[in-house]
Structures are given as C-alpha cells and as structure tokens.
Structure 1
Amino acid sequence: MRQLQENAVSAPRIAVAGCGYWGINLVRNFAALGALAAVIDPRRGVAAEFSAKYQVAAPEWPQTLADPAIEAVAIAAPAEQHARMVTEALEAGKHVFVEKPLALRHAEGARLVEEAEKRGLVLMVGHLLQYHAAFIKMRALVREGVLGRLRYVYSNRLNFGKVRREENILWSFAPHDISMILALAGESPVSVHTEGSFYLHPSIADTTTMHLRFANGVNAHVYVSWLHPFKEQKLVVIGEKAMAVFDDGLPWQQKLTLFPHSIDWIDGQPEPRKAAGQPVELTESEPLRDECRHFLESVAAGRSARTDGREGLAVLAVLEAGQRSLESRSSVHLLDVAVPLKAPDRFFVHPLAAIDDGVEIGKGTRIWHFSHVLKNSRIGKNCVIGQNVCIGPDVTIGDRCKIQNNVSVYPGVTLEDGVFCGPSCVFTNVMNPRAEIERKNEFRPTLVKRGATIGANATIVCGRRLGEYCFIAAGAVVTKDVPPFALMAGVPARRIGWVGHSGERLGKDLVCPREGRRYRLAGPDRLEEISSREKETVA
C-alpha cells in the first residue's frame, strides 16, 4: 500500500465540513497531505476565508454531496448533527471521517455502521489518541505481554475550560479515554457506573468519574473535569509484571514511561519492589496528521480504519450506558448490548466472547456470548457460533457452519462448509483419556464433510470421517466412519436410512420430498445423487 506523503498529489480528494476551533486543524492537515478539495461552513465569511487561504472551493453542503470529484468528507460539526450528516454523505457515496462521538444514540450509530458496510464505504471516527505514537507503543507493550496480564487502567483528562452547554463533560472529554481503554482491554465492559457533580448548571455535569468492569477481569476508571486548576492528560496501565504511564503533558522523550515494579510474596505477605522508570523511545509526530493520513490510506486501500464505525459504536455504547448510570445513580450492565470490537472484515464478536491472537474470522460470521476461539484457528464466512462454544487451537471451520450452544471443537477436528453442530454435541480427541496422563501427541483427526448435521448431545468419537450431508440423530454415539447421506442413530450409531441434501429422510424411491432430487444406491452402503444429464437421459 502506498504511503501518503506531504503534498501527495494522488491522495483521495476530501471536503472538510466545519471550520470551527477543531475543524480548522483538520483543514490544515488534509491540506498538508495534498487531499483538501473543499471547505464547508454555514458561516459563509469563514468558509470564504479558508477557501482563499488554501485555494480550494467553498461550496454548500448539498453541492459537495453532489460533486463526483469529491470522494470523501470530514465532518467536524456539532455532535447533534453527526447522524444526519454522516447518513447524507454515505447515501451520496462518500467515505466519511467524523469527529467523536459517532452519534448521540447507539441506535443511530448502528444505522450508520450498517449503511457504510452495505455500501462498502469507509466510516472512521476521530478518536485521536489511538493515533498518538505513545499510545500505539503502549498498546504494543500490552499485546506483547511486557506488562503481563492487565489488572486495571485509569485515565485522567482534566483542564480548566472550555465549558460547554451543548454536552456534558462525559461526552466532551471521555470518548478518547474510553476508546483507548477498550483497545487495551480488547473487549467492551460488562458494566458501567458513573458519578458526577453539577456546579455550573443543574443538568450538565462538570466532573464525572466512570468505573468500567470487564469480563476478562480488567477494571478501569475515567476521571474527567473542566473545573480543574491545571491541565492533565494521563493514562496509567497496571499489569502483573510491570506498569506504564502515558503522560501527554510531558515532553516527547518522557511521554511514555515503563515501570518494572513487582510484588513479591514473603511469608504470605505482599512486598512491593520498586524499580526505576524507563522512558520508552518514541518517534515524534503530530497525532492528528497521522490520523488524517490513516483515513486517506484506508480510503485508497479500500480497508477498514483502525477506529472504524464499529469501534466508534463500541465507544458510543459505553457513553450511553455511562449517561444512563449518571442519571439513575446506579450501575448499568451491558450484557445485552452487542458491540463487536474485532470486526476488521465486518464480522461480529459479542463483547463477552474472547478471540485469541492469530485467529481468522470470515466476513458475516457471528460469535456470541461466552464463546472462546483459541489461537491459530480459522472460521470461514457467514458462520454462526452460539453461546459458550470453545474452538481450537489450530482448528479449521468452513463457510456457513452453525455451531449451537455448549460445543467444544478440539484440535484435530475439521468442519467443512455448511456443517451443523447441535447443542451440546461432543467431539473427542483421544480414545482413552486420563486426567493424569498427557496424551496430546495421540490426538486423532476427525473430519466432518460438507453439509453434515450432528444432532444435540450426539458424540463423535475421534478418528472418524463423517461423509457429505450425513445426518447424526440426537444422542447418537458415532464410533465408525459414516458414509455420505447416511441417517445414523443409536448407541453405538448405526445407519437407519438415508437423507438428501436438504436433510429430509428419503423413502424407498430415494427421491427427496422437499427438493425432488433423485438418488440411487451405488454400492452396499453408498448413496449418490443422479446427475442432471442422467435425469434427462431417463426422461
């Protein structure tokens, strides 16, 4: 993929909508990247000023949407206008960069994400600190295990002003911190509790403290205020091996510091061991320039952005839960809020599912509550993985498979396309397991061929091959290879008939009652479909 450089003439052409206190920074950076084509602002004098300064057009918003030469828009308008403007831009076929938040309501944000995905357009949310070199390095330290397992994270974003009346401090300051914390935790929280104080206006919080609890054991809190005597922007991450601090108020050489502190247990008592802070080397760059460049590169490459619409939707769900908590003075649980975090190829992962590194998930696949996909496993397109399913490691599952609740697919098991696994069906991987004897080198491969169905509570003994479109009845125990189209039942399972491609049982005439497909016996225990050419010959 080409890297966009300063004044790159090949950059996608973009219009910036909104030339306010933050929009002017977007204008400056997109101009420096050679991508600025137009500026839009309802204040025509302001638009004319920037039009002259950067030698670009200053059309009205409808004209911009109708201009086929403009490929993308960056929206820096008030938050209450985001949903409408993003919708209009997507419907006009434009890629969209929108400042945080994505929208003011989760339902609105979900519609925007759906619209962008349906049209194959890039939708990116301006969570700026995800593009800061210090945070990128901090996230790498977490992923590489330098800090060990995460314990808790806290973030302070404090300043004196700018006081707003269109939004409270939670919606104004906290989105960036929530975005970073979700990226570090790798999932959405299961509960949110927010407390706030109202000093300047009875209904607009000036300070809030948000507590986040995650299913993986991580806890986090975010403290934000615009009534603070000095500016502070600090993110602290505590791991079992070390700690890291990202302090954006310090010079570049001090912005990220690693503290290899540890806790030793002596005579059953914790003993802290302090270590000197180690500054982490960073390459200085402007985060906003890097963010704008990332958007342009995403458009040029036709790929999802790091902070795409789904990431923005996850942050929006937390903000919305935090607001409800603030108003109700109680914790809000997100167990029923389905916000995927890992959807670079437009798949869905529920916040309470765990996906290890090295996993491949196909487009359109959905993975639900409490499921775990272990490393180096591959799941194809348009699969449905139910609740409490364990897959892997090193397992391959084909396209359009459906795995119902409480199923474990162990190493050695391969599911081809279109396989159905009923609730609580069982795959084994060794013949004679013992808890006290390690037998991983004795795993026997199990192959389930295309279109096979395994009923609820059935057991598939390892080392077997299940033929194409076979049907294993509920509760059956398969101890031998199963031929294609065989209907198996009992303990141990035996063939009691034949089924067709649709899963319907075949009668003596071997004709599918649902589809009309015709079959014939090709051996003592082998069924095959009669080809179209043979059907024409018979006719």
Structure 2
Amino acid sequence: MTQENKTKSGYVAVAGCGYWGKNLVRNLAALNVLGAVCDPVPAVAERHAAEYGVKALDWSEVLRNPDLTAVVIAAPAALHASMAMDALMAGKNIFVEKPLSINVAEAEALCKEANRRGLVLMVGHLLQYHPVFLKLKQMVADGTLGRLNYIYSNRLNLGKFRNEENILWSFAPHDISMILSLAGQEPASVSAVGANFLHEHIADVTTTHMSFADGIRAHVFVSWLHPFKEQKLVVVGDRGMAVFDDGQPWGNKLVLFKHSVHWKNGMPEPDKAEGLPVEVPQDEPLRLECQHFLDCVRTGATPRTDGWEGLRVLKVLQKAQDSLAETLKPPETAAKPAFPGVIVHESAYIDDQVQIGEGSRVWHFSHILSRTTIGQNVNIGQNVVAGPDVTVGDNCKIQNNVSIYKGVTLEQGVFCGPSCVFTNVLTPRAEVNRKADFLPTLVRRGTTIGANATIVCGHTINEYAMIAAGAVVTHDVPAFALMAGVPARRIGWVSRAGERLGDDLICPRDGSRYRETGPDQLEEILT
C-alpha cells in the first residue's frame, strides 16, 4: 500500500463512541481523516455517523474494509487486546486507548505482531502529548531541576466509578507513563496499598510506590472517592522543583520553584523561592495525540507511546496489582493452592491435584475440581465448573456459566460461549448410577461453541469447527464445519479465522484458501 493510500481522507475508523471515544471521533473528524465509526450500540454509532457524515459499521466490516487503514480503539479495557490483535491481523495501524491490555503476555504478543507486520501500534497515554508535560520533560532533560530525587502524582475525583476495573487500572496508567518517561527507566521495585469502600472486590483508592536503580523514588495516589478533582504532578530535583497542575488555568499549569537546601552546622535548612509560572504555548492534547498517530501512520515513524511503552506501563500496573492484592486480602481466608503467574479470583475454588498454566485467569465463583489440567493463557469466566478429570488446552476461553464434566477434553484455542452445555451420559437418571456409562467428548483445536449450544457426549468436534448458538450436536463434526439447528447439521464451512466461506472457499479475512476433499470434508491449502 502506498503512503498516499494510507493517508487519504476518511481512512480512520473509531471503535467505541462512548464516554471517551466521542472525543476521539470529534478530533479525527476535525482532522479530516474520520471514515467510519463503530459501537456495540448501533444507535450510538448511527448518531455519530450522521453528525460527522461518515459510515456506521460493525467491527467485522471495519476489519474487512480496505479503505480503512487505521483504527482507533476506545472500547472497555478487557477488549483492548483481542480487538487490537484482530486489527493487526487485518493489516490495520492501531491507536488503542490505555491500557494496551489487562494481561502482560497479551500486550507483548501485540507488540511483536505489530513489529512483524510493520504496522503502527500506539497507546493512548494522553498526557505524554500535553504541551505542559512536554515542557516539563524538557526542563528535566536540560538540567533545570538538577538531579531528580522524587516524583509524585495525584489523580483524584469523585467518580467516574467503574465495575470492570479498579481505580489503579482506570486512573494510574497516565501517571505511570509520565513518571517512566521522566525517569528514563523502568522501576527496580513496585509496591501498592489501597482500600475498597464501594465494592467488596474493587479498590477505590490506591497508592503505588516505585523505586529506581539510580535512587529516584516515585509514588502515584489515585482515587475516585475524593471531594474534589485534582490532577497534579510534582517533580523534585536537587536544584529546583516543578508542579504540573492540570486543574489550573493554562498560564499557571506549570510552575517552577527554585527552592534549594543549604546545610548549616550539620542541619539542612530550606531556601524558599517564589513560584514562577512557565510559559507554554496552548494547544489541545488530544488533538496533538491524534495528529501524532496520523503522522506515524504517514511516515512509518515509531510513536512516542508505542506498544512497547504501553507494555512497560502495563508491567508496572501488574506488579502494583499483585502487591495490592496482598494488602487487600481478607484477614481470614481459606488456604488456596499457589499457581505462579495465574489470577484466581478470591471467590473461586480450586481443588487439590489441579494444574493451571501461567497466564491463565479463573474468575468469580468458578470451581475447578481435582485432577483437572488447565493450560496456559486460559480465561475461565464466572460461575464455571470444570472437572474432575478434565483437560483444557492452552489459550482456551470459557465464558460464564459453562460446565465441563468428566470425559471432556478441549484442545488448544477452543472458545466455549456463555451457558453452552456438555453432557457425559446419554440416558441419565437421578436414582441410577451411570458413572460407568460416561462417554468422552473431544473438542479439537480452534473450535468455537456458541452460547447455549449443547454437545451430546461420545462425539468429536474436529479442528476449527463453528457450532452456532443454541445448536444441539448429536454426531461427530468435520473440521471447519459450520453447524446449526436441532439436531445440528452442516450449513456451510468456516475458515481457521472464523469467517464463513463462500463458494470460492477463500477466507475474506486473511485470504487463506480451502478445498473440499470429499463429502463433508474440507482442508486448508497450505502454501
């Protein structure tokens, strides 16, 4: 694709037009690059499309549209990684709002994939584009403050309350990004404390402490349960101090204090100076951030807040979260098995003789029974029961209210939609013991099982099959088959990427090709 095609007007789509996304829509429209909007609520997308004279598309249409070479993702944080990977696989340049992901491994995979494909991956750490912060960073670099000793940041407000992420993940990424930028390094140690007041399991107030190898210390105090709004960054050096107070009028947002400390008779004494406002040309940070993304798409330059910068911030957040979890642990809790690198919600229950791979997550009220093996990077949603004697492969996603009973094996990359059902006996009776009649079910790699589908035991669902929502599977399923109905029958074929194949058997998402090798048999043509 030529540079001209990459940067013509109307080549950017915004996915998520809500609380913050609407501001991105406004700025990109003003920059004459907005081509489409996308939102899970169609009426919201249609309203913005009408206001700015662009298309309202669903996410799959955005990915398939060759004229949209860049996407801006302003969805809930839990969706950032999956949507960003979808966009990369579709060849799009990406600007994703903070955080890049809620999982370090997923974020690292995004960075590597963007590098491999030569695409822009930028994270929305907005304050790195604020003219006042850029001036402050210049003052640090040119030695105005001397050697840095201490940095702290307050981000406080009453609301906006969230139930999908705590205050640390909602407010602190911007501050951590600025601190890492000023320090020029990653912290040697991270710790955090906090408290829950509005919700039993979501922190409303946290303080994160960072120590750096060269002696710099920093902390970030964030709260959405505070009587007034405050967004303030304080930088303390040995020859001066500076305050970036974003709540002040523009002319007073950055103030330099040429304070110093003198020693007299072995005791330090302060030499105080009046604060001096620092002149900074005024501009809208979000417009500058959007323009920076567009410039990087046009020139191929590396963004100031590229994916790797986002990954560094994410690593600090994760270390802070791990530390916070220890401080918020209830004083009396039943001992649970330790699984390094695994997130297990405190309401989940893990039996003995269970193996769970690194990077996996087990969420609220789920129960993993004995002798069950869970692979790496598996997401187990709320109210899931798995086991006993169940195997779940790497990278599987088990949505809410799924029960995986004895005899079921899920290979790598299987998706189980909400409330889908596996059986393990054909003729159950409440008063008859049928354990000897259990029949195994094998779900091979990459299969998708839709919401409320039922998988009758004793069958194999082969690779990359797609079971429609509500279908009832009563026989073996061929690889790549699209199954629907009661009982389920094949109504078509799908690709490895999950797209329905037309008569040409070419995947519309990634261009992969397939051929039929017999009745109800399909194989991918590997080149």
Q: TM-score range by the shorter chain?
A: 0.5 to 0.7
Q: State whether residues 9 and 35 of structure 2, in contact with CA within 8 Å, keep that contact through their aligned partners in structure 1.
A: no
Distance (whole Å) between structure 2 residues aligned to residue 102 and residue 10 of structure 1: 27
Deviation, structure 1 residue 329? 3.0
- Secondary structure of the corresponding residue to residue 327 of structure 1: helix
Q: Per the alignment, do residues 324 and 116 of structure 1 end up closer, same or farther by CA in structure 2, a change over 3 Å counting?
A: same
Q: Secondary structure at the match of 1:324?
A: helix
What is the SS of the residue equivalent to 1:220? strand
Is 1:95 the counterpart of 2:93 in the alignment?
Answer: yes
Change (3 A) 1:189 1:12: farther
Q: CA deviation at 1:228?
A: 0.4
**Alpha-carbon spacing, 1:170–1:257, altered in 2? closer, same or farther (3 Å):** same
1:291-306 matches, within 5 Å, as 291-306=289-304
Asked if 2 retains the 8 angstrom alpha-carbon contact of 1:12 and 1:299, the reply is no
User: What SS class does the counterpart of residue 56 from structure 2 fall into?
Assistant: coil
What amino acid does structure 1 have at the position aligned with 2:68? I
**Kept in 2: contact 1:169–1:226 (CA 8 A):** yes
- The offset of 1:268, in angstroms, is 1.8
Matches within 5 A, 1:177-188: 177-188=175-186
What amino acid is the match of 1:52? A
Amino acid at match of 2:138: A
CA distances 1:174-224 after superposition (whole Å, capped 9, x unpaired): 000000000000011011110001101111000000100011110000000
Which residue is equivalent to 1:216? Answer: 214
In structure 2, the CA distance between the partners of 1:276 and 1:286, relative to structure 1 (3 Å rule), is same
Q: What per-residue deviation string (whole Å, max 9, x for no partner) do you get for residues 297-338 of structure 1? A: 0110101100000000000000000000001239xxxxxx9x
1:241-320 superposed matches below 5 A: 241-320=239-318
* Map 1:73-88 → 2, pairs under 5 A: 73-88=71-86
1:55 aligns with 2:64: no
Could you tell me how far apart the structure 1 residues matched to 2:266 and 2:119 are? 57
Equivalent pair of 1:151/1:217 in contact (CA under 8 Å): yes
Aligned to 1:35: 33
Aligned runs of 1:430-469 on 2, under 5 Å?
none
In the TM superposition, what are the counterparts of 1:40-439 in structure 2 within 5 Å?
40-329=38-327
Cα offsets for 1:346-396 (capped at 9, x unmatched): xxxxxxxxxxxxxxxxxxxxxxxxxxxxxxxxxxxxxxxxxxxxxxxxxxx
1:4-38 alpha-carbon deviations (Å, 9 max, x no partner): xxxxx845710000010100000000000011000
C-alpha distance in 2 between matches for 1:165 and 1:60: 25
Q: In structure 2, how many angstroms separate the alpha carbons of the residues matched to 1:317 and 1:80?
A: 16
What SS does the corresponding residue of 1:177 show, helix, strand or coil? helix
Counterparts of 2:59 and 2:304, CA distance in 1: 27
Unaligned runs of 5+ in 2: 1-6, 329-340, 342-527
Letter in 2 for 1:260: K
| Other structure's SS at 2:316 match | helix
With over 3 angstroms needed to count, the CA separation of the structure-2 counterparts of 1:165 and 1:280, relative to structure 1, is same
Question: Is the contact between residue 197 and residue 207 of structure 1 (CA under 8 Å) also seen in structure 2?
Answer: yes
TM-fit CA distance, 1:60: 1.2
- SS state at 2:55 partner: coil
Matched letter for residue 164 of structure 2: E
The CA distance in 2 between the partners of 1:215 and 1:11, in whole Å, is 46
Match of 1:24 in 2: 22
- C-alpha deviations, 1:244-263, integer Å up to 9, x for none? 00000000000000000001
> Shift of residue 233 of structure 1?
0.3
Q: CA–CA distance in 2 between the matches of 1:274 and 1:122?
A: 46
CA distance in 2, matches of 1:307, 1:11: 24
Distance 2:265 2:35 in 1: 69
Give aligned pairs, total.
325
| CA offsets 1:281-302 (integer angstroms, 9 cap, x no match) | 0111111011000000011010
- Residue 267 of structure 1 and its aligned partner are, at CA, apart by 2.1
Q: For 1:204 and 1:72, how far apart are their aligned partners in 2?
A: 34
Equivalent pair of 1:182/1:188 in contact (CA under 8 Å): yes
In the aligned structure 2, how far is the partner of 1:70 from the partner of 1:161? 35
Q: In the alignment, is the contact (CA less than 8 A) between 1:11 and 1:300 conserved in 2? A: no
Structure 1: which 5+ residue stretches go unaligned? 1-8, 331-336, 338-539
- 1:195 match: secondary structure: strand
AA partner of residue 26 (structure 2)? R
Q: In structure 2, how many angstroms separate the alpha carbons of the residues matched to 1:178 and 1:305?
A: 17
The answer on whether the counterparts of 1:148 and 1:240 sit within 8 Å (CA) in structure 2 is yes
Per-residue deviation, residues 88-138 of structure 1 (Å, max 9, x unmatched): 000111000000000001111000000000001000000000011110000
Using structure 1 for the length normalisation, give the TM-score. Answer: 0.59
Q: What is the SS of the residue equivalent to 1:211?
A: strand
